[in-house]
Amino acid sequence: MPNVQIEPPHSDLPREKFEQLSSYIDSLDTARGALIEILHKAQDLFGYLPRDVQLFVARKIGIPAAEVFGVVTFYSYFTTSPKGKHTISVCMGTACFVKGSDEIFQAFKEKLNINSQETTKDGLFTLNNVRCIGACGLAPVVMVDEKVYGKVTLEDVEHIINTYRKEDSI
């Protein structure tokens, strides 16, 4: 697409990430229909999609900011708040649900003292629920970052949390 130079906003967000995003957009044949790809890229770079990033994308490809905002809020994959160091995803697919994953999810909420989509105060954990990760044979399933824990019991919950707490304090 034609090179449109847009100054990154004055914010605490790293300037070089805006530059990377900018050159990614320039490398596309066309920005027509590419908003979702661009937002995926932006979320990869920044970890989330703060207002400033959304505005930057809107100005760069020349569409109303409201349209960008509308797309970001529509899709659950996009998040507007920063993620914790580790993301705990409890599978709430049907296969996991019938094997009691809601109790596991509840236990994580209580032990971490946060709700779904929230991050602990120390910034260590974000809690999520996901739908079927394809490991139904191991239901109920919990994923921490990329690592999958299968046949999780209520007793395992504390243990999983502590593994990452310990790792982090070293």
Query: By the criterion CB under 6 A, which residues form the site for ligand FES?
Result: 91, 93-96, 132-136, 139, 141
Distance CA 148, CA 135 (A): 9
Single out the residue of 158, 124, 136 nearest to residue 148, CA to CA: 136
Residue 124 has which token pair? 């260590």
Nearest approach, Cβ of residue 163 and ligand FES (Å): 21
Q: How far is the CB of 149 from ligand FES (least distance, A)?
A: 11
Q: Cβ neighbours of residue 39 under 8 Å, at least 6 residues apart?
A: 49, 57, 68, 71, 72, 78
Look at residue 4 and give the partner it binds from another protein, ligand FES, none, a contact being a CB closer than 5 to 8 Å depending on partner kind.
none
Residue 51 beta carbon to another protein: minimum distance, rounded to whole angstroms: 18
User: Of the ranges 37-45, 80-88, 107-115, 159-167, which one interacts with another protein (CB under 8 A)?
Assistant: 37-45
When asked if residue 1 is in the footprint of another protein (CB under 8 A), the reply is no
Residues 35 and 31: their CA atoms lie apart, in Å, by 7
For the chain, counts of helices (H) and of strands (E): 7, 4
Binding mask 60-99 for another protein (x = CB under 8 A): -------x--xx--xxxxx-------------xxxxxxxx
Residues in a beta bridge with 149: 142
Q: Which is nearer to another protein, 11 or 156 (CB)?
A: 156
Q: Which of the choices ligand FES, another protein, none does residue 86 contact, using the CB cut-off of 5 to 8 A by kind?
A: none
CB of 91 closer than 8 Å to CB of 72: no
Distance CA(86)–CA(96), nearest Å, equals: 22
Consecutive H or E run containing 100: none
Site residues for another protein per CB under 8 A: 32-37, 39-40, 67, 70-71, 74-78, 92-99, 102, 130-139, 141, 148, 150
